[in-house]
Structure formats: structure tokens, C-alpha cells
Structure 1
């Protein structure tokens, strides 16, 4: 059997392959899915990829699968580890962090101001794949970014360095890194003016640098032998799908509750009312990663948030036994109920951390309301992807809880008017990378998976 495109999702433990056909027609098709254990640790990613393709053939009742193109997303080889270094945390450091997260990076350290010896020590311990240097609005403060760049250049890390700060520093940045082992990428300032964010150019370069990095990572060196199209990070691919859907549907959020983390992607301008009282700018497209909220690897963190006694009462079960016998994929009714409760807590906590809030300030002129953070009140669609929110029986009810969990109305949460949609085929990440070459096909396929095709 021959298909147009295979998209491989090379995860840290599992490699999934999704097959798509009729890609250049008005009716592209999702053909099927195969999976196998990821083989990066065995020294060759191709073993897992070939295993997933064989599993796909078996699932489709075919002897073998041939394909025109293979694209890929990856969170293997440790994902995309980054450190981010800016001038003032609430301004350039935060803007740089938003850009990095939106591109699918895992942020291991953010600093503001001049780097200290302890920061340099931490960076060496983290061994990031990419370092992002920012700082200073255009034609503003220059010295901090240059000082930090000198220290980073002297570390000889042999990794990509991205500079996204004051444009006056560009020529000096080139001189600083001209004899280092690091490839320097210079992009537009992430914070060019006070109260203005410009993170999309940095996002794009991070994705380019990721593709460059991933093909040299241990176990991934031969990935280009089989993948002949784009390779982007898996969370970055979900963001690409989210932005593509925003153009079609309007303001939306996408939730991905996984075994280790909960990711939340939002694309919304917010309401005029909140924008008038917002104290600092927010990006149009925002991603947050809750590294402590996972329903398998980090299950105990969520149990602690809910409370073991509360869980035991709610589920009427021996909670210690349930915890000790917790599986990656629940099988019994009580295991499913347990994972649903964990998922609900992860969803509500992730929304609470992602969303902004209204605060009252009291001064000589009386009480003044201000808003800080991301305004989600105009969200039209709440979309679930990932294993938990595409496969659990009560996934829709879990997402409906979001609008009910804001009794004081001080949190800038989606309202009850927001519609719930599910990525039924569990292909949003694959379609994000597909959209790089075939945006129209990707949009049709996403809408089919969400059950909203015309």
C-alpha cells in the first residue's frame, strides 16, 4: 500500500506514525496509525520508526507501507532544553520565555540582569540545546546583553545561540561569537518597545535551530535517512495546529494532559474591557507547560494537590493500593475513574496557572481594578488532545468543569459559552508539522478529527 505522507511523532518512550493520503486534494484522508518503542537509547532512531511503520501495516492489514514523504515531530533526545537570559524579568526575560515556550522548548532556567558565577555553573549542569539572549528595548540599555554574551561565548558550548535583544548590539554580538563554537542566530527584538511583544520571529528561529540540533542528537543522527520533510518539536507542532485553527475558528485553547506534563496552548487577543486595564502585554499565542502535572509519571504530585483522604472519599477506594498499582493506560473502571479525577485536577490547575486575573489596588483615589496575565474570557472553543483528553470516557465533562471553577469571577477563565471539541484521531501534533507544507490539507484533517468538517 502506498500513501502520500507519513508523520512520525518520536516521543521519549513511544514512536507513533500517522499515515495521510489524498494530501493534494480537497478530501485528504487520515489512513491509520502505528506505534513502537522509541529506539533513541539504542543508538538509532530508525529501529523504532521502522517498527512503527510495520505496526501501521499490520493495523491496516497490509504487507508493507510505502510513502512519498515522511515528516516528523520529536520530544526524544531530552526534547528541546533551553536557557533564557534577559534584562528585566517582567519585560524582556518574560517575552523571551514566551517565545521559547511557544516554539515547544522546555525552559530549564530564566535569568534577569547580569549572569552570576552560580548561573554559569547551572548552565553547564543543564547542558541546554539552545541559549536565548535578550535584553533592552531597541535603542535602550545595551551593556547587560553584551556582558552575558561574553560569558556565554567563553563557555564554548558548541550549541546554537539566539540573540533577540536591542538591535544596536547586533554587530558586537557577531564579533563576540565569531571565534566561538556556537552558531549565532540574530532575530528581531522580542521586546522592541515598552508594552510591545514581538515573539514570532524568535519562535521560528528556535524551531529552525531545533531541527538543526535534533539531527545531531545521540540516536537521532540517522533520522534524515528516513525523514525527508520538516522536523519540529512535538509541543511546537501542537502550537502550529492551534494557530492554524485560530485563523478558521477564532479564539481557542488546546489542552494536552500527558503522563509527565500538562501543556496548555491559547490563541486569543482577549476582550477590549480587560485589555484596557492590563498592566503588561501578553502574546497572541501563549503556551504554558506544567511539569508537575502528569497523570502517570507525576501522578503523586496531583494526588498531593487533591489530598489522599479526599480522593479515598470521592472514589470510595483503598487509595494506597490504587497508587501502587497505577498503570500508564488504565484498564479497570476504578482505574479509569482515578485517572479522570487526576486529569480534572491537572486541567483546572493548568488553566489557573495559564489564565490571568483581576486584582484591586487601593490608593488615595480609592479602589482601582487592574488585570494581569492572559485573558481567556473571549475563548470560543476548548479543545482536548493527548491521551487523557481524547480517550477517557468523561473527557468532555472534565473540560466543562473549567467554566464552573471560577466562582469569584476574578480569574480570566473561559465562560460557559465556550464549546468543547476533542481531537478524536489524536493527530494535532502530526497535523502541526504537516501544516508547514500542506496547510489546507492539515486544516481539513483537523476539522475532521474535531468533528466539525463541513
Structure 2
């Protein structure tokens, strides 16, 4: 069988292959999905990829599959590991962090100011895929970024470096790393060019380009790259890409991606004019937070501790110890599904409370002043659920609805009037990478998976 486009999602536990047909026509189609356990531990992720393709063959009832294009997303072997180093935490460091997270990175170290010996040892131990250096507004402080670059260059790591700081330092930073032949240095626009001005999108784009061209994440990924003739980007970055694509036609939205190991929240909104007037520091339009302690399988025990085991025992009708001992990646019995639904509810609720900003009251000589801090989600029109838990559990819409009802006081969260949508085909990440080469097809298929009638940019405008 000849297929237009295959998209492989190489996850930490499962590899999924989605098949799409007629992507250059007005009526693109999602043909089906195959899956297989990811085979990092076997020393070659292509084993899992080939198994997922075999699974797809069985679903489509065909003996062989050929394809015009093969694209991929990856979070295998820890995904895109990055370290981020800036000047002042609430300014350039935060801007650099937003750029890295939005690109789909897993950040292992964030430092502010000059790197210490302990910081440098941690960088060496982590073996990051990319190091991001920032620091100083344009034509502002220069010394910290230059000193940090020199210290990192002396580590002699074979790691791509991205510099996104004070523009005056660009030539000096390039010279520092060019003297060390094992470094590839990429200089991009400052992530924080002026006070209270974020400029994260250029850095996000470079991070994904570097990932695609230079990064081998897991055993066998070189062979995977040989099979692929299109883009490969980090899986969280692909979900963000899909969210941004949808925002263009639907309006402001939030995407919850609840997985076995983490819960990611992607918001794409400028916020309300009322909140922007009292916001004490800028926020990016597209923001991602990743909660590494909120996973419904790998991090099940963390969520149970957040709920409280005694509280949970009062809520359920089955034995908690037994259900935890028998916990599977994919729940089967009704009790198992009920348990995972409760875990998913807590993951959605906690991740929302961590992601969204808050109103704060400040008291001074002139009395009380209300300010806003963090991301304003009050203008959100749609809440989207993706990931295994929020696409496959029976009560997935109820989980999101209840989480919205139980928001913390003073949270700048979505209102209860938002429309809840589910990525029913579980293809949002695949369509994020597909949108790089076939944006119209990706948008049409996204809306189909969400159960929406087709909306275009023209009809929205």
C-alpha cells in the first residue's frame, strides 16, 4: 500500500505511527495508527518503529507499506535535554527558559549570574543535547555572558551552543566557541532585548532546527533519521506547534497533555487587556510548562501523595494498595480506569494551578493595589485534551470540567464557559510536525479529530 505521509512519535515508552493520505488535496484523511513499545533498552529504537509499522499494517490489513514522506517527533531517552544560563532570573533567564520549554525541551539546569564550579560539574554530568546562553538586554551588561561562554567552552563538550543574549556580545561569543572545533555555535536574536520585552520565538525556532539537524537522542536514532525524509522535532514542541496553528482559527486556547511520566500544559493567548494593564512582568503569547512529577503511570505515587492516601481511600470503593500494585500503563478494568481518571484529574488541576498566573494584593502608603503575576488564561475560549489519559479514558471531558471548577482562588484561569475539545484520534503531536510541510491538511485533520466543523483563517477574519 502506498501512503502519502507516515508520522512516527517515538516516545519514552511507546512508539506510535500515524498514516495520512491525500495531504495535498482538499480532503486529507487519517488512515490509522499502529503502536509498539519503544526499544531504547534493546539498543535500537528502530526495532520499536518497525514494530509500530507492522502494527499499522495489521490495522490496515495490508502486507506492505510504502510512503512518500516520513516525519517524526521524539521524546525517547529523555527527549531534548537542555541547560539554560542567563543573567537575572526574573528577566533574561526566564525569557530563555520560556524559549526552551516552548520548543519542547526538558530543562535540567537553570542558572542566573556567573557559573560556579558546581554548575559546570552538573552540566558535564547531564550531557545536555543543547546549551542555551543568554544575558543582558541589548547594549546592556556584557561580562556575565562572555565569562559563562568561556567557562562552558573550556568543558570541551561536543554540544551545540545557542547564544540569545546582548547583541553586542555576538562576535565575541562566536570567537570563543569557534576556537574550540567541537562546538557548533548558533547566534540568534536576544530573548530579552529590552526591559519587559520578550522575544522568544526566534530562539524556539533555532532550538528545533538544531534538534533536527544535530541531535541523536537514543540508540538507533541515526538509523531513524535515515528512514525519515522530512522534519523531526521534539514531541512537546509538536504539540505546541499544533496549538499555535489552532489558535489562528479558533482563538485563545489551552492544551492539556497528560502522559504516563509528565503533564504538559500549552497556552496560546495574549491575555485580557484588563489583566495586561496590571501585569508586573511580561509573559510569552505561547507558553509551555512541564510538570515532571505529574504522570499517571511512572509518577503515579507522586500524584497519590498530592491527593493524600487517606483522602483517596475515602473517595474510592476498591483497595488502594492493591490497585497501585497492579497499576498498568494502559488500564483495563473499570476500577483501573476509575483510578487513572482520579490521577488525571489531579494532574490537570495541579498543572493548571502551576501554569496560570494569580492576582495579588500589595499594600503601601496609598492603600491596597491589585497586581497580576504570571500567565493570564481568562480569555481562553477552548480547552483541548490530548495524551493517552485525556483521549482514551471514558470520563475525559468530565475530568477537565471538574478541574476547571476546582481552580484555586485568585487564579487567572479559564472560565467555566470555555468549550472543551478532545483529540479523539490522538494525533495532535503528529499533526504539529505535519503542519511544517502541509499546514492546510494538518489544520483540517486537527479540527476533524477535535470534532469541529472546518474553520479557516478567512472565515475567522
Question: Aligning the two structures, in what range does the TM-score lie when normalised by the shorter sequence?
Answer: over 0.9
Whole-angstrom CA distance in 2 between matches of 1:42 and 1:328: 19
Contact in 2 for aligned 1:19/1:30 (Cα 8 Å): yes
Contact in 1 for aligned 2:79/2:217 (Cα 8 Å): no
Tell me the SS of whatever aligns to 2:104.
coil
Whole-angstrom CA distance in 2 between matches of 1:315 and 1:437: 47
Q: TM-score, normalised by structure 2?
A: 0.97
What does residue 406 of structure 2 align with?
Answer: 405
Contact in 1 for aligned 2:353/2:407 (Cα 8 Å): no
Whole-angstrom CA distance in 2 between matches of 1:293 and 1:341: 12
Contact in 2 for aligned 1:215/1:222 (Cα 8 Å): no
Which runs of structure 1 show a deviation greater than 6 angstroms over 4 or more consecutive aligned residues?
Answer: none
TM alignment of 1:273-312, pairs within 5 A: 273-312=274-313
What does residue 384 of structure 1 align with?
Answer: 385
Tell me the SS of whatever aligns to 1:42.
coil
Whole-angstrom CA distance in 1 between matches of 2:438 and 2:164: 29
Whole-angstrom CA distance in 1 between matches of 2:217 and 2:251: 38
Whole-angstrom CA distance in 2 between matches of 1:254 and 1:73: 18
Q: Tell me the alpha carbon deviations over residues 182-231 of structure 1, each in whole angstroms, 9 at most, x when there is no partner.
A: 10000000000001000000000100111123347532111222111000
Q: Tell me the alpha carbon deviations over residues 128-160 of structure 1, each in whole angstroms, 9 at most, x when there is no partner.
A: 110000000000000000000000000011110
What does residue 261 of structure 1 align with?
Answer: 262
What does residue 225 of structure 1 align with?
Answer: 226
Q: Tell me the alpha carbon deviations over residues 399-424 of structure 1, each in whole angstroms, 9 at most, x when there is no partner.
A: 1123312363x100100111000000
How big is the shift at 1:44?
A: 2.9
Q: Structure 1 residue 193 and structure 2 residue 190: aligned?
A: no
What does residue 35 of structure 1 align with?
Answer: 35
Structure 1 unpaired stretches of 5+: none
Whole-angstrom CA distance in 2 between matches of 1:42 and 1:327: 21
Structure 2 unpaired stretches of 5+: 455-461
Whole-angstrom CA distance in 1 between matches of 2:260 and 2:88: 34
Tell me the SS of whatever aligns to 1:67.
strand
What does residue 459 of structure 2 align with?
Answer: none
Distance 1:123 1:405, change over 3 A: same
TM alignment of 1:271-420, pairs within 5 A: 271-406=272-407, 408=409, 410-420=410-420
Tell me the SS of whatever aligns to 2:78.
coil
Whole-angstrom CA distance in 1 between matches of 2:423 and 2:364: 48
Whole-angstrom CA distance in 1 between matches of 2:139 and 2:216: 37
Q: Tell me the alpha carbon deviations over residues 95-125 of structure 1, each in whole angstroms, 9 at most, x when there is no partner.
A: 0000000000000010000000111111111
Tell me the SS of whatever aligns to 2:389.
helix
Contact in 1 for aligned 2:26/2:441 (Cα 8 Å): yes
Contact in 2 for aligned 1:160/1:184 (Cα 8 Å): yes
Q: TM-score, normalised by structure 1?
A: 0.98
What does residue 25 of structure 1 align with?
Answer: 25
RMSD value, Cα: 1.1
Tell me the SS of whatever aligns to 1:263.
strand
Whole-angstrom CA distance in 2 between matches of 1:438 and 1:26: 11
Whole-angstrom CA distance in 1 between matches of 2:408 and 2:349: 13
Contact in 2 for aligned 1:86/1:96 (Cα 8 Å): yes
Tell me the SS of whatever aligns to 1:62.
coil
Tell me the SS of whatever aligns to 2:277.
helix
Q: Tell me the alpha carbon deviations over residues 4-32 of structure 1, each in whole angstroms, 9 at most, x when there is no partner.
A: 00000111222110000011011100000
Tell me the SS of whatever aligns to 1:411.
coil
Q: Structure 1 residue 132 and structure 2 residue 132: aligned?
A: yes
Tell me the SS of whatever aligns to 1:135.
coil
What does residue 428 of structure 2 align with?
Answer: 428
Q: Structure 1 residue 205 and structure 2 residue 202: aligned?
A: no
Q: Tell me the alpha carbon deviations over residues 27-64 of structure 1, each in whole angstroms, 9 at most, x when there is no partner.
A: 10000011122233333332222221111011111111
What does residue 450 of structure 1 align with?
Answer: 450
Contact in 1 for aligned 2:84/2:107 (Cα 8 Å): yes
Q: Tell me the alpha carbon deviations over residues 222-257 of structure 1, each in whole angstroms, 9 at most, x when there is no partner.
A: 122211100000000000000000001010000011
Whole-angstrom CA distance in 2 between matches of 1:349 and 1:38: 29
Whole-angstrom CA distance in 2 between matches of 1:64 and 1:195: 55
Whole-angstrom CA distance in 1 between matches of 2:102 and 2:408: 30
How big is the shift at 1:3?
A: 1.1
Contact in 2 for aligned 1:241/1:429 (Cα 8 Å): yes
Q: Tell me the alpha carbon deviations over residues 375-405 of structure 1, each in whole angstroms, 9 at most, x when there is no partner.
A: 0000000000000000111110111123312
Q: May I ask how many residue pairs the two structures share in their alignment?
A: 453
